[in-house]
Amino acid sequence: MELIFDIGNSNIVITWYKEGEWADIIRLETKREEPELYYSNAISHILLENKINVQGINKVVISSVVSEVTDSIFNAIKQYLGLEAIILNGELFSSLDMQVPKPYEIGSDLVANAYAATREYQDDFIIVDFGTALSFTIASFTKGILGVTITPGLKTSIQALSKGTSLLPSVPVKIPDTVIGKNTIHAIQAGVLYGYIGLVKELLVRIKSEVKKPYKVIATGGLREILRELRPEFDIIDEYLTLKGIRLLSQAASHK
């Protein structure tokens, strides 16, 4: 069994892969200030709650964009499972059979997305990842990663609006029936969410015009509410795309 960690700015996504099957995704809030013991207890609780036999875990892989949490998770895994996790890094990215620009700078989640999309589906893709940041990774099956576009994620935008103003509240991620708001919460939801839908559509139009060839669009991430509205824009929706890429990259690392 392979245990996979995707450490993001808002959440740590945890799942495992066994005998060709992925387990359900579990999300743990990313807490930068918490010590190693906190994560050791959290991992122990998750595995026990899901009746996972720790003796059956033979590999652990970590992808992280939060460096201060990476060591805590790594040490917690070593202490609890007695395993040294594989950490995806620039050294690995620079040795892949896929072109990765600035391998020591690019986020490991973006590389994982590109690697999974091009290797599993064997085509050229614009990968839209709905996370703390909204990212568009342009990946060619033959040429690797061509570039990336990044903008604040939906929840990040809502939180920024609330924190940056005195009277505007933080609101749930819910698309209202109308774009003209009838109260403050409705007005914020309408402006941010419908504006976000327009943002995604416009960036896809501009990216497609720049690449000048047909690229399929694949979406991943956890925002189902917004994904439903944008469904016609995507050829594929793969919630496990990043996790698949992390696993595939760990296999590449094992062969080095």
Which sign does the torsion angle of CA 151, 153, 157, 160 carry?
A: negative
Contact 69/11 with Cβ under 8 angstroms? no
* Half-sphere exposure at residue 74, Cβ-oriented, CA atoms within 13 angstroms: 14
In the set 6, 71, 109, 177, the catalytic residue is 109
The verdict on whether 109 is a catalytic residue reads: yes
Encode burial over 169-207: b for 16+ CB neighbours within 10 A, e otherwise.
eebeeebbeeeeeeeebbbbbbebbeebbeebeebbeeb
**Of residues 142, 157, 241, 145, the one with CA closest to residue 200:** 157
C-alpha span between 19 and 11 (Å, rounded): 26
State which H helix or E strand residue 225 sits in: helix 224-230
The residue count of the chain comes to 256
82 torsion bin: left (phi>0), alpha (psi -120 to 50), beta (else): left
Q: Which residues are catalytic?
A: 109
